[in-house]
């Protein structure tokens, strides 16, 4: 599977073909502007998996924003791998988005920047550092790229309220529970007890033959994966967290 578009994005009026923002391939951070310190503070109260998931979900806004202007499948493959890596790092090879002239300009370069932030968030989680910073940066990037940032801002507030209720940071166990992609649909009646079922549905839809970033079951086991590849057991995940 290559990720399907979430219902809340299908109804968001963000696919304008007009480019109304400034962009500079040589000064991306300067164009984006400083992060929102208040937002960053909120994100730091969430688990690391919640921050990685929020970064990936925000990146989906950018990819869908440019859906009519860039039809390359690589960003969706990267996002698919990222959601799998949030479940367990063994699901994907370490990846970096291409940093060359084919991903330059006011459309493809912002997509590359978003994918790089997602990869950085995953790396921050793996080393038990600060994926919340990547989440704050990508949020600023999304606001900059949208002709009207209000739909994203409204979505962000609603999902952050949900994440704050369900996925608070535990200083003794910073990774936290897996956050299903469905948790980012503000219109869905999401319940955390559905996590195991939702994650298994997601894993069942992955195809490592079609997405070269995904590892085969054999490779996963060789990497020391604990359990059955492409099957998720939430209790076993909780037992194995400190072995990541």
Residue pLDDT, tens place only, 10-65: 888 888 777 778 888 888 778 788 899 999 999 999 999 999 999 999 999 999 98
Answer yes or no: is 90 within a domain: yes
Dihedral (CA of 188, 192, 194, 197) sign: positive
CA-based R_g, the chain, Å: 17
Residue 9: inside a domain:
no
Distance between CA atoms of residues 103 and 100, nearest Å: 6
The answer for residues whose C-beta is within 8 angstroms of residue 3's C-beta and 6 or more apart is: 60, 76, 79, 80, 83
Distance CA 106, CA 186 (A): 29
Query: Side-chain half-sphere of 194: how many Cα atoms within 13 Å?
Result: 11
Q: 20 lies in a domain?
A: no
Residue 66 forms part of a structural domain:
yes
CA atoms of 47 and 176, how far apart (whole Å) = 5
Predicted pLDDT at 100: 78
148-190 pLDDT per residue, tens: 999 999 999 999 999 999 999 999 999 999 999 999 999 999 9
pTM, to two decimals: 0.94
pLDDT digit string (tens) for 63-80? 998 876 567 889 999 999
Q: Is residue 39 part of a domain?
A: yes
Distance CA 244, CA 240 (A): 7
> Are the CB atoms for 64 and 5 separated by under 8 Å?
yes
135: domain range?
Answer: 27-243
Task: Report how far residue 126's alpha carbon sits from residue 85's, in angstroms, rounded to the nearest whole number.
Answer: 10
Q: State the DSSP code for 6.
A: P
Does the residue 14 lie in any domain?
no
Query: Quick check: is 218 in a domain?
Result: yes
Q: In total, how many domains does the chain have?
A: 1
Which pLDDT does position 243 carry in this prediction? 58
Q: Is 111 a domain residue?
A: yes
């Amino acid at each position: 599977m290559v990720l399907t578009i979430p219902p809340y994005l299908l109804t968001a009026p963000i696919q304008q073909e007009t480019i109304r923002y400034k962009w500079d391939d040589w000064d991306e951070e300067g164009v984006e502007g400083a992060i929102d310190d208040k937002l960053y503070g909120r994100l730091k109260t969430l688990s690391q998996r919640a921050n990685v998931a929020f970064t990936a979900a925000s990146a989906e806004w950018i990819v869908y924003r440019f859906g009519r202007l860039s039809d390359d499948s690589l960003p969706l493959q990267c996002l698919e791998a990222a959601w799998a890596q949030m479940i367990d790092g063994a699901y994907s090879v370490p990846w970096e988005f291409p940093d060359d002239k084919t991903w330059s300009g006011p459309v493809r370069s912002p997509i590359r920047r978003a994918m790089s932030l997602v990869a950085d968030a995953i790396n921050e989680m793996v080393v038990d550092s600060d994926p919340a910073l990547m989440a704050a940066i990508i949020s600023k990037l999304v606001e900059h790229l949208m002709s009207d940032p209000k739909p994203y801002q409204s979505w962000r507030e609603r999902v952050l309220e949900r994440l704050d209720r369900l996925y608070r940071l535990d200083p003794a166990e910073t990774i936290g529970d897996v956050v299903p992609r469905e948790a980012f649909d503000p219109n869905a009646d999401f319940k955390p007890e559905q996590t195991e079922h939702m994650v298994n549905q997601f894993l069942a839809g992955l195809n490592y033959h079609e997405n070269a970033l995904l590892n085969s079951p054999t490779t996963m086991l060789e990497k020391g994966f604990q359990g059955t590849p492409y099957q998720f057991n939430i209790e076993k995940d909780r037992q194995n967290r400190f072995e990541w």
